[in-house]
Amino acid sequence: METRKRKTLEDFPKFTVAAVRRGETSSTGYTEFELDGRFDRAMTDFGPHWFWLLFGESDCLTAALKSLDADTNTAVLTTQELYEPRVAGLTLFYLSPAWQAFNVWMVLDKNWGWKKLQFQGHDAVAQDYEADEVSIVAGREIKIWTKLEPAEGRSGTTRHYPATDQTSPPNPERRVVPSGWGHEHCDLCRSHINAGESGYCDPGDRWVCESCYQLYVEPRDLAFVDEL
């Protein structure tokens, strides 16, 4: 059986920065910077609005395409930053906005802190709300939704489900749902890690399934970015 070659950052599209130009600073304190440079290959699949540029051991920028010369692969990119990015002369690695920059670093960093654990499930906090527009879910008109978040654990994580009752006003009171947070998602393949199943958890309460850990994290293989 042929062994698949491990994907590294060197296999990603590269953008070498020739110069950085400072633009205007907004009222929020962010300054627009233009990055002049050249891609190492023809680029046609940019994110609709922005994409990641990775560099160093865990650094990144969010950038947008301002102009591109398809004949030479030279381009002008823009990024909004509080401070001037020190990237002139550096080679940056393109990552699709379908991923988060930490998805790459969590696989490459040998000291990320993964631990094999059994997911136990825990209580959730639920709150109903009414959306501005009607959505069609499984043939039903849905306007009342239930927002679910873990009672403890990863902060800022929410899930949204159609409320069971679509005829009564939404219940705005926060209420505890015992064992309502019954699964986590693998950060790489989005499969469920259900209560009672094992996976790998990092110090930020992010999870990857056993399969993705063996396929990507253990060998430091970035091939998962090609799976979407």
pTM for the whole structure: 0.83
Q: What is the CATH number of domain 9-97?
A: 2.40.30
Sign of the torsion angle spanned by Cα atoms 209, 214, 220, 224: negative
**Domain locations in the chain as residue ranges:** 9-97, 100-119+182-228, 122-180
Phi-psi region for residue 17, left (φ > 0), alpha (ψ -120 to 50) or beta?
beta
Give per-residue pLDDT as tens, 62-92.
999 999 999 999 999 999 999 999 999 999 9
Give per-residue pLDDT as tens, 107-166.
999 999 999 999 988 899 999 999 999 999 988 999 999 999 988 766 568 889 899 899
- Indicate the fold that domain 100-119+182-228 takes in CATH: Wheat Germ Agglutinin (Isolectin 2); domain 1 (3.30.60)
Q: What's the mean pLDDT when you consider all of the chain?
A: 92
- Which 8-state DSSP code applies to residue 225? G
Task: Answer for the pair 52, 62: CB distance below 8 angstroms, yes or no.
Answer: yes
